[in-house]
Amino acid sequence: MTTTQLETAKLQIDLDPVLLNAVIEGTLGGLAMTGLKPPPVGASKLFGASQPTAVLVGLCGQSNGTLTLNLSNRAMLHIASTLTGEEEKEFNESSLDAIGEVGNMIAGCVKDALVGTDYEITNISVPSLILGANYDFYFTRGFNTVSVEFELPGIPVVYQRDRYFTVTISLLRRIIK
């Protein structure tokens, strides 16, 4: 996707452009160490945990909320393998640490992308992992949410559902007086 196409898409989708930009830039920046450059393929104001693995990182400062990386087990192992440089075939301490670190790197890049905006955050928490597909997220009123779906072309097409993961940010916007 070219920069012009991305800018056009941002204008056509009714999403907070600051959060949309932060999620896209933060995800691509956070994955830079892995060598992966997954293209964004969709975005929404809604968050649905449709995959069985999630990394949650708390975001706090003048704005507070969470960043969630939600992905399939296969995608988690694929991303962990690119970070560690070793093929990760099953959940183990190494693969779980790696995917937690990826969530942390994405959150750090999102934090950087939000500097100087109404959503600026100053700290991120230690990442938490959720394993298991049966959970929902609920936020109180006032949260602005942007969820962006990305594709991992390195996963074979036969595993179509596993090729997609989402990064979601939900923040309370600080009130400027």
Determine which of 61-65, 88-92, 139-143 has the lowest per-residue pLDDT on average.
139-143
82 located within any domain: yes
Each residue's pLDDT tens digit, 140-159? 777 889 999 999 999 999 99
Structure confidence by residue, pLDDT tens digits, 68-80: 999 999 999 999 9
Task: Measure the CA–CA gap between 133 and 153, rounded to whole angstroms.
Answer: 23
pTM over 0.75: yes
Polymer length of the chain = 177
**6 in any annotated domain:** no
Domain-located, residue 138 = yes
**18 in a structural domain:** yes
The answer to the question of residue 3 being in a domain is no
pLDDT band at 177 (very low <50, low <70, confident <90, very high): low
Q: Is residue 98 part of a domain?
A: yes
CATH number at residue 45: 3.40.1550.10
Residue 5 lies in a domain: no
Answer yes or no: are the C-beta atoms of 128 and 56 closer than 8 Å. Answer: yes
Which of the pair, 136 or 24, is modelled with greater confidence? 24
- Reported as a pLDDT band with limits 50, 70 and 90, residue 101 is very high
User: Which among 55, 72, 62, 177 has a CA at the least distance from the CA of 125?
Assistant: 55
Residue 89, C-beta contacts closer than 8 angstroms, at least 6 positions apart: 77
Q: Which domain holds residue 118?
A: 14-172
Instruction: Quote the CA–CA distance of 130 and 55 in Å, as a whole number.
Output: 6
The answer to whether residue 130 is domain-embedded is yes
Q: What percent of the chain has pLDDT above 70?
A: 86
Into how many domains does the chain fold?
A: 1
